[in-house]
Structure formats: structure tokens, C-alpha cells
Amino acid sequence: MSRRAAVLGHPISHSKSPALHRAAYAKLGLDIEYSAIDVTVERLPAFMAGLEAGDDWCGLSVTMPLKTAMVDEVDEVRGAGAFLGVINTVAFEDTGHGVRRVGHNTDVAGIVEAVRNAGVTEQPHSAVLGGGGTSAAAIAALRELGSKHVDVFVRDAGRAAEAKAAAAAVGLSIRLRPLAEAAEGMAGADLVISTLPPRAADGVAARLEQLPDDVWGVLLDVAYDPWPSRIAEAWHSRGGVVVPGLEMLLYQAVEQIRLFSGSDVTADVIDVMCDSVGLPRRV
């Protein structure tokens, strides 16, 4: 019997999630149809209310700007999502008495695996750009990597509630700083995670290009369209290591596929997922 899954967000046409999921399900021999659906925050309650159990939904990937709003649309939140208040995954579980919608946050695992794959060691001196839903996952990932403190650079400190809540939840010291100071602040960091939307970091990149000294750390830019981003190019030109957002997307999708299908995602499955979005196969 065919099952359904989808990625929800607004806008959504740029999403690489369909390519990743479809490649994995084909390799696994699973009949799961995966699509992209444009849903705004305002339309989300009606969309979720309209999902019928008979439609055989097995999962939803959740991207911006829905990661916080989706918490109110599920029956239960597990793992990191429960204390972050931010989820990017909904798994549909058959309890025998109906279908239960369970929220998860696989962004945390996606970030940790992506930066570890780039050689980031424990307790990195860290910085985060942006204070929204993805920054919450970044802060939780930094805590898992052993960081004790993080500087979070934001355009508006009044809109950084998710970052502050995440830091309090995981016990990480946080300092909010203006985005105008980001270039200088990130230049000396071991690990920088940019959670800003595409092109929103262009001003930071322009300032970074003007700094007198090179950088030596790792930059993960979660935005991947267009790629390379200007901040990624600036970081790389100054000697730093760049991790594309597709790496994070890959590893968070691996966790989603396990939740949606109940199948083990082996190395050969990850390889075809890499092929689908132009990433190098894992060694």
C-alpha cells in the first residue's frame, strides 16, 4: 500500500528534501510518495486538520517558517523538540487505536553530524547568526558538541526568543549581540553556524571581506539556495572551512527517513541521497 509524506514550508519550491527522500525510498524499495507543499503559518492549522488517517500519511518534514507553529499541531513532542519548543519533523504512528502525530527535531542531529564530518572537535568556541527556530537547534547542537557559551548575532534582540529559550533549556551561556558586529565576532570562532535566510548574511560577508586577518574555523551555512552563498565565499576566501547547508539537510533527512519508514538507513542509502543533491559520497 502506498504511503504519503511531504515537506511543508513557505516558500518551498527550492527545497531539496523531495530529492533526498525519494532517492532513499527508491533504494529501500519502499512505496512512499514524497511531495513539497506550500503552507503558511496562517494556513497550517487548517492544513493539519484536513489530513485524514485514511490518506496513509507517514510523515511530514517541516521547514521555515513553521517549525515553532507546528508544535501546537501534534499530539506529542519527543526528544530535543520537547525542550526546544521547535520541531522540523512529524511522524505518524499507528497506535492500534488511531494515528498519533509525534513531533521531533532532527535538525540537532543534522548539525552535529555535518560539522563533525568537517572535523569540528569538542568544546568549540562558537557563534550563531540569527535567533529564530533553526538557531534553537544550532544551540542544542553546540551544547552536544561541548560548547559552554555562544554569542548569537541578531538583527533584532526582541525577536530572539527561540534562541534564548533554547540556551536556557540546554544550559548554555548566551550573549545576544547586534548583527552589525557579527563579522568581527565570528572571525575568531572555531565554529560558526549561520541560520539566516538566503542573502540575509550578505552584509556580514561584505564586512568579513574587509577584515585584515584570515579565519581558521568552520562555517556551517544552513541556507543552500543560492549556493555558494556570499558569506560562504567570503569565509572560504579568508581560509576557513565551509560546510554547505545540504550537509545538514542530508543528515537530518536520514533521521526523518528512519522515523517515517521504520527502516535502517545504511551507507548505500546515504550514498544515493548524496547523489540526488550533488554531494560527494561518504568515505
- pLDDT digits 0-9 by tens, 91-118: 999 888 889 999 999 999 999 999 999 9
Select which of 16, 67, 148, 164 is catalytic: 67
| Residue carrying C-alpha cell 548524496 | 274
* pTM for this entry: 0.92
Task: State which residues of the chain have pLDDT below 70.
Answer: 53-54
Q: What is the pLDDT of residues 16-45, one digit of tens each?
A: 999 999 999 999 999 999 999 999 999 999
Cell numbers for 253: 533527512
247: part of which helix (H) or strand (E)? helix 245-261
DSSP 107-150: HHHHHHHHHHHTT--SS--EEEE--SHHHHHHHHHHHHTT--EE
Cα separation of 70 and 85, whole Å? 9
The string of pLDDT tens digits covering residues 43-71 is 999 999 999 766 799 999 999 899 999 99
The answer to whether 201 and 170 are in contact (CB under 8 A) is no
- Give 263-266's long-range contacts (Cβ < 8 A, gap of 24+): 263/28, 263/30, 265/24, 265/28
Whether residue 16 lies in the annotated active site: no
CA distances for 125 relative to 73, 151, 191, 217, 280, angstroms: 36, 9, 6, 9, 28
- pLDDT score at 54: 63
